[in-house]
Amino acid sequence: MGKSRLEAFSDGVLAIIITIMVLELKVPQSGELVALRPQLPAFLSYVLSFVYLGIYWNNHHHMLHATRNVNGAILWANLHLLFWLSLFPFVTGWMGENSFAPAPTALYGLVLLMAAIAYWILQYAIIASQGHDSLLARAVGRDIKGKLSPVLYVLAIFAAFFNQWISGGLYVVVALMWLIPDRRIERVLGDS
């Protein structure tokens, strides 16, 4: 199987996930401006998830760009990643509608963690099939961001039961870490 089908299907699923999340923003009954206020946490969690899915879409494509062939292991590792990403609308909605309450905030971090692990497994499956001197293996390198993110997610999950704003802050930090172009942050983290 060529990789184009995998790309097209993943693109489709990611496009749908990123878009149906907006259905969790419930249209207020009242037409007053104040009726928007209870929607503010839901909006913030929507923005956060939109950025995360954008990052995943971006990285997913760079990864597949450096991939030649697709085998069964890669295919199922990819579906596994899409599975965890498909839970974004649910956890985004739960966190937003409960104003970042501890349990939803922790569950949000758990889904981020599982997606990060699924991404790592997919990366591993591709490198295993392409060889350790492949383009992808060299591009990934020491993968400092990939190793730091899960650690920060675990911290955020535990922090949610003490102060959920620490968790929220950590989610924002990880997102920014991936948003800022690669080389610079890797050099910074590599030096520290």
User: Where on the chain is the footprint of a copy of itself (CB under 8 A)?
Assistant: 1, 5, 7-9, 11-20, 22-25, 27-33, 35-36, 47, 50, 54, 57-58, 61-62, 65, 72, 75-76, 79, 82-83, 86-87, 89-90, 93-94, 97-99, 101-104, 107, 179, 181
24/126 with CB nearer a copy of itself: 24
CB of 31 to a copy of itself, least distance (A): 3
Coil, strand or helix at 100: coil
Axis-axis angle for helices 164-179, 144-159 (nearest 10) = 160
Report the alpha-carbon distance of residue 120 to residue 150 in Å, rounded. 10
3/170 with CB nearer a copy of itself: 3
* Token pair 């969790």: residue: 24
CB of 8 to a copy of itself, least distance (A): 6
* Token pair 């097209």: residue: 8
CB of 139 to a copy of itself, least distance (A): 13
Q: Are 88 and 150 in contact (CB under 8 A)?
A: no
